[in-house]
Amino acid sequence: MKKLHYISGILLALFSAAHLFNHLCSMAGPESHITLMNNLRKVYRNPVIETLLLLAVGVQIMSGLQLFRKQRKATLSPFQKLQVWSGLYLAMFLLVHVGAVLAGRLVFQLDTNVYFAAVGMNTFPFNLFFLPYYTLAILAIFCHLAAVHAQKMKRTLLGLSPIRQGQLMVVLGGLMAGCILYGFTGGFQGMETPTEYGVMVGK
């Protein structure tokens, strides 16, 4: 189970790196985000790649929940606890997020681009849920990776111990979350979303 979790995790980590970088481009405006996304989709919406990613998501959720049940009552170090609880949040997030994206594509016939996520972040009271929901998801990715890194890394880098390296990864995750949310909310000007995405918030 741990091996399956690890292998599927590597695949999702590669996708997440590209996906989060794509989201960072929203700081330059929704057009920049959509342009890069359309180029990346040529790879990850290939039927073979997309099937592998969906299988990896399923494996991550099922194996992650099983590992959580086994480890939640064990005596764990702070980073082990961080790994377990961030993994639980990621399992729930993947289940909801992937389901929502598939519903947006197949049921609502929407292009699940930046506006698909942004409409909830820019509409009250839905933003009271979606802003922390996405913030915690980004943080959970970095916390999960930081916990694994801190436990497996055996040497210092740039004078930083493995624990300090893990802590720095968590801080970087917080900064990235702030930048992405800034982009998805249109910064201080706000973001106008096309009317067809209003269906996602009952408009």
Summarize pLDDT for 96-133 with one digit per residue, the tens. Answer: 999 999 999 999 999 999 999 999 999 999 999 999 99
d(CA 203, CA 173): 33
Q: What is the pLDDT of residue 121?
A: 94
Q: What is the pLDDT of residue 40?
A: 97
18, two tokens:
């590209």
Judged against a pLDDT cut of 80, whether residue 73 lies above it is answered with no
CA distances for 167 relative to 64, 86, 181, angstroms: 22, 14, 21
d(CA 117, CA 27): 14
